């Protein structure tokens, strides 16, 4: 593979916003190679079909982010065909899954569930920041973004509930802010940001959509276009911040 090309990595691309980024980047002439991860084949049919349709452009890797060795192996695998990445977006997230549902009250707090929220929503992202640093240390402007959520804003928390999801997104934000400081020293061309997508019509939001006014429920395509515009406009000074879909900076 030539080195004068733009390489992107979308983590958590089987569904929803991650899959939407893959679709959008396949149309983007500036992006030559897209690496995309999925966890389970069963929910990654569309992504895998896209990789068969675009075999020179889209490369899929299987990664469960709760297993650090799988993250390390995927990054090693990417490194065999690309010496640098220009855009990384961590789109993995869990709000509900099987018996796991967001807590409405303290009585529902369960330590295993809390740990799981942190593993998926917070720790996976910072592990990617750990392993990807060598592929982001180059002289071109590049982005390490992670999809966070406004409900992870401590300053904005007025409703309560959703302990594990909120806390894991707040932890994600702190991990990204801290990584941004280390990256500014070791990897100064990387802009590290947390992004709030707005309520988006995906599997994750589906059980909670009934109280969302239609104009506030974005399609995946709309969210992806908005977030790509935010990413496009980012400057080095923006690293370490938390941006909403409209480009405004959110309170921590
Ligand atoms: N949709 C919204 O309204 C909304 C609002 C605010 C923030 N967000 C955030 O946006 C991001 C994307 O969510 P979405 O709405 O697109 O939801 P989604 O359609 O459910 O996608 C979530 C993705 O995360 C992956 N994932 C979950 N656990 C994983 C694990 N252990 N290892 C690897 N991958 C894993 C899923 O893979 P599988 O297919 O294998 O499950 C899927 O690809 C999340 O961080 C979410 O918190 C969404």
What atom of ligand 1 comes closest to residue 14's alpha carbon? 43
Predicted confidence band at 5 (pLDDT cuts at 50, 70, 90)? low
The answer on pLDDT for 212 being more than 60 is: yes
The answer on pLDDT for 3 being more than 60 is: no
**pLDDT value at residue 208:** 95
The answer on pLDDT for 137 being more than 70 is: yes
- Report the alpha-carbon distance of residue 208 to residue 247 in Å, rounded: 25
**pLDDT value at residue 92:** 98
Mean pLDDT over all residues of the chain?
Answer: 96
- Report the alpha-carbon distance of residue 150 to residue 141 in Å, rounded: 26
Q: Which of 9, 10, 11, 12 to mutate to test the pocket of ligand 1 (most atoms within 8 A of CB)?
A: 12
Mean pLDDT of 160-187: 98
Instruction: Go through the domains of the chain in sequence order and give each one's CATH number.
Output: 7-244 (3.40.50.720)
CB-CB neighbours of 173 under 10 Å: 24
Q: Which of 39, 73, 93 to mutate to test the pocket of ligand 1 (most atoms within 8 A of CB)?
A: 93
What atom of ligand 1 comes closest to residue 40's alpha carbon? 40
The pLDDT tens digits of the residues spanning 31-54 come to 999 999 999 999 999 999 999 999
- Report the alpha-carbon distance of residue 177 to residue 242 in Å, rounded: 9
Collapsing DSSP states into helix, strand and coil, what is residue 35?
Answer: strand
**pLDDT value at residue 2:** 39
Question: How far is ligand 1, taken at its centre, from the CA of residue 4, in Å?
Answer: 31
- pTM greater than 0.75: yes
Question: How far is ligand 1, taken at its centre, from the CA of residue 169, in Å?
Answer: 12
The pLDDT tens digits of the residues spanning 91-118 come to 999 999 999 999 999 999 999 999 999 9
Q: Which of 123, 164, 204 to mutate to test the pocket of ligand 1 (most atoms within 8 A of CB)?
A: 204
The residue contributing the CA closest to ligand 1 atom 47 is 93
The residue contributing the CA closest to ligand 1 atom 44 is 93
The pLDDT tens digits of the residues spanning 223-233 come to 999 999 999 99
CB-CB neighbours of 240 under 10 Å: 18
The pLDDT tens digits of the residues spanning 174-196 come to 999 999 999 999 999 999 999 99
What atom of ligand 1 comes closest to residue 208's alpha carbon? 3
- Report the alpha-carbon distance of residue 132 to residue 218 in Å, rounded: 31
Pocket of ligand 1 (CB under 6 A): 12, 14-18, 39-40, 43, 63-66, 91-94, 120, 147, 149, 197, 199-200, 202-205
Nearest alpha-carbon partner for 226 in 251, 193, 197: 197
Kind and range of the H or E element at 206?
none
């Amino acid at each position: 593979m030539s080195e004068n090309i733009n390489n992107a990595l979308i983590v958590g691309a089987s569904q929803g916003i991650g899959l939407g980024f893959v679709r959008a980047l396949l149309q983007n002439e500036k992006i030559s190679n897209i690496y995309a991860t999925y966890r389970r084949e069963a929910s990654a049919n569309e992504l895998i079909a896209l990789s068969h349709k675009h075999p020179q452009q889209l490369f899929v890797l299987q990664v469960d982010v709760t297993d650090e060795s799988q993250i390390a192996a995927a990054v090693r695998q990417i490194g065999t065909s690309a010496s640098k990445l220009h855009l990384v977006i961590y789109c993995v997230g869990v709000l509900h899954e099987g018996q796991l549902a967001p807590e409405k009250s303290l009585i529902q707090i369960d330590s295993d569930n809390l740990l799981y929220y942190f593993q998926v929503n917070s720790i996976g992202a910072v592990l990617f920041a750990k392993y990807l640093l060598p592929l982001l240390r180059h002289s071109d402007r590049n982005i390490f973004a992670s999809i966070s959520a406004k409900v992870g804003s401590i300053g904005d928390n007025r409703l309560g509930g959703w302990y594990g999801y909120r806390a894991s997104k707040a932890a994600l934000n702190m991990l990204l802010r801290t990584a941004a400081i280390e990256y500014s020293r070791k990897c100064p061309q990387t802009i590290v940001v947390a992004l709030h997508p707005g309520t988006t019509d995906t599997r994750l939001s589906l059980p909670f959509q009934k109280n969302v006014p239609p104009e506030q429920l974005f399609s995946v395509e709309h969210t992806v276009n908005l977030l790509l515009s935010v990413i496009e406009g980012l400057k080095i000074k923006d690293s370490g911040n938390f941006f909403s879909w409209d480009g405004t900076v959110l309170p921590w």
